[in-house]
Structure 1
């Protein structure tokens, strides 16, 4: 080989050796970028029903005020957007407004929450009929509207109690017109769950219960610790399930809307719920932002007796087969047993 040829080969070899790390870096970067591009859009809006407290008015304000304060403290600490839905009937005791309960709603506002209308009495549309239901909605803003107006706000979200939204297309359309006339939008739920069953079990944790391995009075704190731990796992499985459902139905993960309730269990696990969702890659957003996703313009075709996730309502409207709905996490039998329930 002539010297000039050798020199050119050596130079080419040197240039190639310099270029290889760049090629390798580019090659290794591409899969990561592709994976990032394909990662689900994990945004979620948190909503809390049955304010100021689930058990009101059946219990005294004094009996739940410490739990309420604990939940408000957790909300402040977490600092994520939140919309709470009010049942004004819970503000009263035998028809008389309780100032301490109205103050509980101010605590939510002071903690940064938005407040929406959940009707006065938590009425069931399928039971009371449309006319009575509409009356109950208006009765549910007598305190809420001036409370918000004092802060330069107006109530603009409505959530159906029991998530029962109408037994006919005609009732749904009539209710939609009524809500629009009064400045309300329906707040759907995509991450539906049975936190209320876990909460009932949590309240009963100190009681003997059928089928328990315990004899006599159970060890309350031990059961509560287990309930909190398993509840967080259950909620995580719910988030995963509805993410898969959204991908399967829509082709992407829409901004989810998560429902929980104002109860003692969530007071004691609120921070852990937020941390669990964040660990899964979720970013918390307001309900207004979530509802800007075009999926929420889809019609709710469901007219059955239950109150399923809007993802399932849309799937029912598309006549998805039964297998589409399979695999939803269920409440464990031991929790149902402790809550004194036979099924969800």
Structure 2
């Protein structure tokens, strides 16, 4: 009887260890675009991140630090506040946030260089590398030629193109959320905030299922969101939910070590889709997966209706 119990115990421990191992393989880095928001001298989102103390990569538009064509000292201090944090790593997001496919390689190259001047100095001050670039709108170019030209430029200037795997249209939720708050409609603001959190988690679940079908393993994810009001109030809830689903929060550098990010890209249009789709050689399969994404049509219609009313 004792031998049987020991055998059962060994099996149970083995299963438990396998479960723990599987759980620990889930990981994600939080990446935040359009930094810094300069509506005040202190970032509410940064205060939230201070309390969370997880690795974060930020992508900076330096035009936000200017007023009247000159560097605004108060806004520059806000940017420095971000970059002074040990848990924050910097990235270039261009100066003015233009669409690459619309302005072409020469103008866009100038945007990249102009968009790094302040950030590079602050990165040196805080002993951080500036070698990541994320395209505004994740628009890498309208065709393969345009994409190759800008890739070569970025590589020559020491930049990697920063991908993402999961995003949840936070910009659209934020428009509704901020508008309802400005109208004093707290009930609808909370409804939108809660929907944003739930939709984000559903998007993680969707891409986890897709990745399992494609690769038969977990991959470290890159979540894309923005420096905006809804994330100041709800990103912590998303982090809490992801933690409860056994995600580890790691740095962008750690994520990019996974071989999945070394794959060839087969998507050569301007639209800002997930890199999980870009790695699919079969265009028909890509479209099939994209059609299966969790539905957001009700929020889109609400967003369009709100914009029409405000115009």
User: What TM-score, normalized by structure 1, do the two folds share?
Assistant: 0.82
Write the distance in 2 (CA, Å) between the matches of 1:130 and 1:177: 10
Whether contact under 8 Å (2:176, 2:303) holds in the other structure is yes
User: Is 2:44 the partner of 1:70?
Assistant: yes
Whether contact under 8 Å (1:188, 1:310) holds in the other structure is yes
Write the distance in 2 (CA, Å) between the matches of 1:282 and 1:232: 16
Whether contact under 8 Å (2:166, 2:223) holds in the other structure is yes
Whether contact under 8 Å (2:173, 2:299) holds in the other structure is no
Write the distance in 1 (CA, Å) between the matches of 2:242 and 2:146: 36
Superimposed CA distance per residue, residues 136-156 of structure 1 (whole angstroms, 9 cap, x where no aligned partner)? 101101211112122233411
User: Is 2:252 the partner of 1:287?
Assistant: yes
* Displacement of 1:335: 6.2
Partner SS for 1:129: helix
Whether contact under 8 Å (1:45, 1:286) holds in the other structure is yes
Write the distance in 2 (CA, Å) between the matches of 1:309 and 1:204: 28
Q: Out of 66, 69, 72, which is 1:92 matched to?
A: 66
Whether contact under 8 Å (1:117, 1:159) holds in the other structure is yes
Decide which moves more: 167-176 or 41-50: 167-176
Partner SS for 1:337: helix
Whether contact under 8 Å (2:65, 2:79) holds in the other structure is no
Alignment of 1:157-236 (within 5 A): 157-206=132-181, 220-236=185-201
Write the distance in 2 (CA, Å) between the matches of 1:252 and 1:167: 32
What 5-or-longer segments of structure 2 have no aligned partner?
none
Write the distance in 2 (CA, Å) between the matches of 1:336 and 1:93: 35
Decide which moves more: 145-154 or 155-164: 145-154
Match of 1:148 in 2: 123
Match of 1:263 in 2: 228
What 5-or-longer segments of structure 1 have no aligned partner?
1-16, 54-60, 208-216
Alignment of 1:239-258 (within 5 A): 239-258=204-223
* Displacement of 1:341: 5.7
Alignment of 1:83-162 (within 5 A): 83-112=57-86, 113-162=88-137
Write the distance in 1 (CA, Å) between the matches of 2:18 and 2:123: 46
Partner SS for 2:90: strand
Write the distance in 2 (CA, Å) between the matches of 1:275 and 1:116: 25
Q: Return the index of the structure with the highest Cα Rg.
A: 1
Paired residues, number: 305
Change (3 A) 1:78 1:125: same
Change (3 A) 1:111 1:40: closer
Write the distance in 2 (CA, Å) between the matches of 1:164 and 1:268: 28
User: What TM-score, normalized by structure 2, do the two folds share?
Assistant: 0.91
User: Is 2:274 the partner of 1:309?
Assistant: yes
Whether contact under 8 Å (2:65, 2:72) holds in the other structure is yes
Change (3 A) 1:332 1:341: farther
